[in-house]
Amino acid sequence: MIRDDLISLIQQAALKAQATGDIPIFSLPDVVIERPKNPEHGDYSTNVAMQSARLAKMAPVKIAEALIAHFPAAAFIGKVDLAHPGFINFTLSDSWLAQQVAVIEAAPDSFGNSDAGQGRKAQVEFVSANPTGPLTIGHAWGAVLGDTIASLLTATGWDVTREYYFNNGGRQMRLLGESLRVRYLELLGQQNPIPQDGYQGDYLRWIAAALVAEHGDGLVEAGVDVFRNKAELSIFANIRATLARLGVDFDVYYNELDLYETGKINAAVQALSTSGYAYQKDGATWLRATDLGLKQDRVIIKSSGEPTYRMPDIAYHVDKLERGFEYIVDIFGADHHATWPDVLAGVRALGYDTSDIQVIIHQFITLLRDGQEVKMSTRRGEFVTIDALLDELTTPSIPGRDVMRFMLLTRSADSSMTFDIDLAVKESSENPVYYVQYGHARICAILRKAAEEGFSPGEYADGDLSLLVHPAELKLLRKMIAIPEIIADATAQLAPHQLSHYAQGLANDFHVFYHECKVVTAEPDERQLSLARLRLCAAARIVLARVLGLMGVTAPERM
């Protein structure tokens, strides 16, 4: 990447400046390369001279002057400037920029990728909803975040496993079975109240109707376990189908029950007790979390002998590490913010390093329809399912999946999300997904029109890139070649929303280029320029399709 190359060149310049005595001998601090907000300050900038002033006992400006004087020649650098009080600004070479079209053409499916992960094993756990009801819009955010992060990790050289963890035992599943039994008996004329904290959603009426159709009154005497199993099978089939509609496919579905059957939970509890990190109090087993840097100890085994949800999660994360994953990403909803520190503390207490376990907590989503907030409560059965919203978001121009995925990637996970349905289905530049996809479709239309007018792909594939000198062309090129850094940063920071922001910026720069530069002209003396611009368009299409692909969004050829 350009940033890495600049860091290397700055380090070389420092060694040369020290060898000539222009600056004293000292260890250069870590070089940080940033993009200036003001384009007049170049494409990249560093404050390393200011960071070195105390170490060198020298004015930042003098250090910067020495570094610039000894800066090695590099084809991609057009200009190196000093800006007070000691910034060094770098401007990319226009001719080098134009030639990057060929680099993009050479790697249409992988431009921007890296081998940072070096094939190491990574796991992304997301969604992980228990089979107690349909997936809702809240689950959708976690699904899109996780799937996109997994794609980013793959693009940066990791061997990625997408994993879904679920619990089909415990109190909530029993309540689900009891609630379904009530709905089943209700259809047979027996009226019973839904149990306290039971499930009210209409989806249980639909499952009950299917049971009546299949079994008649043959399940009247059946126990709760039968209804729990029937509910689980039906709901999980629906969950998988919903995820498929959203474009999410898991490699592993991990059942919490496996942790019990293999003895991993008991083994973890025993190990915590042996190490002194678990103790008995009031008939319960407690995790000595205060010895692990947390504010209070936590119950991990209730006095009834039933584990709290923390204990299986501790055992599950140990299992992840035992399976050889070197990088683990957990994506949870906001309701988990208080529990995950306890889980990681328990894993550390068992002797494992948790520094490579990253936890993302995404906030709640506020859904707007006709400018009004849509009220939701899963327990009361008042919620908007992913399936229903996908149907509502689908328009003649854009599939609902594209709209949902793109819109859910417009905000960082730690920000509140307001999902405006009216905006999401609007076919105008106000709608970011429409704007970006229209950019790709426009490029395709330009290339089709060019072919009709006698500009074949074979001809513009050899277009003279040195003719790309217009400011709008160069600005577009600058945006296009930024994708390696966007992918690297979005991966390192686990911030896939950067992709949507980049896509919008790229589409905007293309639209500006399109309006300022006539791509196809019939004038014979401008044919070579048309060929060069068509080649630029084709490369822009590659980059725009790449970023949309990472987001799991289609790149339409017509809209």
Predicted local distance difference test score (pLDDT) of residue 453: 93
Whether 128 is in a domain gets the answer no
What is residue 525's predicted lDDT score, i.e. its pLDDT?
85
Rg (CA), the chain: 29
Q: Is 385 helix (H, G, I), strand (E, B) or coil?
A: strand
Instruction: Report the Cα–Cα distance between both ends of the chain, in Å, rounded.
Output: 34
The domain boundary, picked from 50, 68, 92, lies at 92
Quote the pLDDT of residue 379.
55
Phi and psi torsions of 218, nearest 5°: -70, -10
DSSP 36-78: -SSGGG-SEEE-HHHHHHHHHTS-HHHHHHHHHHTPPP-TTEE
Say if residue 86 is in the same domain as residue 181.
no
* Total domains in the fold of the chain: 4
Confidence at residue 474, expressed as pLDDT on a 0 to 100 scale: 98
Q: Is 454 exposed, middle or buried (0-12, 13-18, 19+ CB in 10 A)?
A: exposed
pLDDT of the residue at 167: 86
CB atoms within 10 A of CB 554: 17
- Contact call for residues 112 and 484 (beta carbons, < 8 A): yes
Instruction: Tell me the pLDDT of the chain (559 aa) as tens digits.
Output: 999 999 999 999 999 999 999 999 999 999 999 999 998 999 999 999 999 999 999 999 999 999 999 999 999 999 999 999 999 999 999 999 999 999 999 999 999 999 999 999 999 999 999 998 899 999 999 999 999 999 999 999 999 999 999 988 778 889 999 999 999 999 999 999 999 989 988 899 999 999 999 999 999 999 999 999 999 999 999 999 999 999 999 999 999 989 999 999 999 999 999 999 999 999 999 999 999 999 999 999 999 998 998 999 999 999 999 999 999 999 999 888 888 999 999 999 999 999 999 999 999 999 999 999 988 765 566 679 999 999 999 998 899 999 999 999 999 999 999 999 999 999 999 999 999 999 999 999 999 999 999 999 999 999 999 999 999 999 999 999 999 999 999 999 999 999 999 999 999 999 999 999 999 987 888 999 999 999 999 999 999 999 999 999 999 999 9
At residue 107, φ and ψ (nearest 5 deg) are -140, 65
Q: Report yes or no on 362 lying in a domain.
A: no
Q: Does 189 share its domain with 80?
A: no
**Residues 270 and 202 reside in one and the same domain:** no
Assess whether 44 and 77 both reside in one domain.
yes
Taking CB atoms within 8 Å and a gap of at least 24, the contacts of 426-434 are 427/395, 427/397, 427/398, 432/406, 432/407, 432/500, 432/504, 433/398, 433/402, 433/403, 433/406, 433/407, 433/553, 434/397, 434/398, 434/559
The pLDDT, as a whole number, for residue 512 is 98
Please check whether residues 196 and 280 belong to one and the same domain.
no
* Residue 483 belongs to some domain of the structure: yes
Spell out the alpha helix ranges (H) of 169-290: 170-187, 202-215, 224-245, 257-261, 264-275
Instruction: For residue 302, give the 3-state DSSP assignment.
Output: coil
Residue 281 sits in the same domain as residue 238: no
Rounded Cα–Cα distance for residues 98 and 48 (Å): 29
The letter for the amino acid at 435 is Y
The pLDDT assigned to 380 comes to: 62
Of 480, 454, 475, the residue nearest 538 (C-alpha): 480
Q: How far is CA 289 from CA 264, 334, 341, in A?
A: 20, 21, 9
Whether residues 179 and 290 share a domain: the answer is: no
Q: Which residues contact 236 (CB under 8 A, 6 or more apart)?
A: 131, 166
Instruction: Please answer whether residues 258 and 249 qualify as being in contact, where contact means their C-beta atoms are separated by less than 8 angstroms.
Output: no
In a domain, 197, yes or no: yes
Same domain, 236 and 270: no
CA angle 18, 22, 26 (to 5 degrees): 40
Q: Which residues pair with 369 in a beta bridge?
A: 372
Kindly state whether residues 53 and 85 are assigned to the same domain: yes
Looking at the fold, whether 546 and 435 belong to one and the same domain comes out as yes
CA distance to 26, 37, 116, per residue, from 325 (Å): 39, 38, 16
Residues 519 and 441 grouped into a single domain: yes
Q: Are residues 189 and 278 in the same domain?
A: no
342 domain-assigned:
no
- Domain coverage including residue 87: 2-92
Asked whether residue 461 is domain-assigned, the answer is: yes
The answer to whether 278 and 231 have CB atoms below 8 angstroms apart is no
Sheet of strand 121-125: strand arrangement: 252-255, 159-166, 121-125, 327-333, 357-362
CA angle, residues 212, 217, 223, in degrees to nearest 5: 95
Structure tokens at 398: 């854009």
In this structure, the strands spanning 365-369 and 372-373 are: antiparallel
- Provide the CATH number for the domain around residue 471: 1.10.730.10
Element holding 160 (H helix, E strand): strand 159-166
Q: How many CB atoms lie within 10 A of CB 299?
A: 16
Half-sphere exposure of 6 (CA within 13 A, CB side): 26
Distance between CA atoms of residues 31 and 42, nearest Å: 17
Q: Which residues of 243-282 are buried (b: 16+ CB within 10 A; e: fewer)?
A: bebbbbebeeebebeebeeeebbeebbebbeeeebbeeee
Q: How far apart are CA 212 and CA 192, in angstroms?
A: 17
N residues, the chain = 559
CATH of the domain at 8: 3.30.1360.70
Answer yes or no: is 528 within a domain: yes
490 in a structural domain: yes
Query: SS in 3 state form for 196-225?
Result: CCCCCCHHHHHHHHHHHHHHCCCCCCCCHH
Q: Considering only CA atoms, which of 48, 444, 63, 408 is closest in space to residue 246?
A: 408
Q: Alpha-carbon distance 349 to 294, whole Å?
A: 12
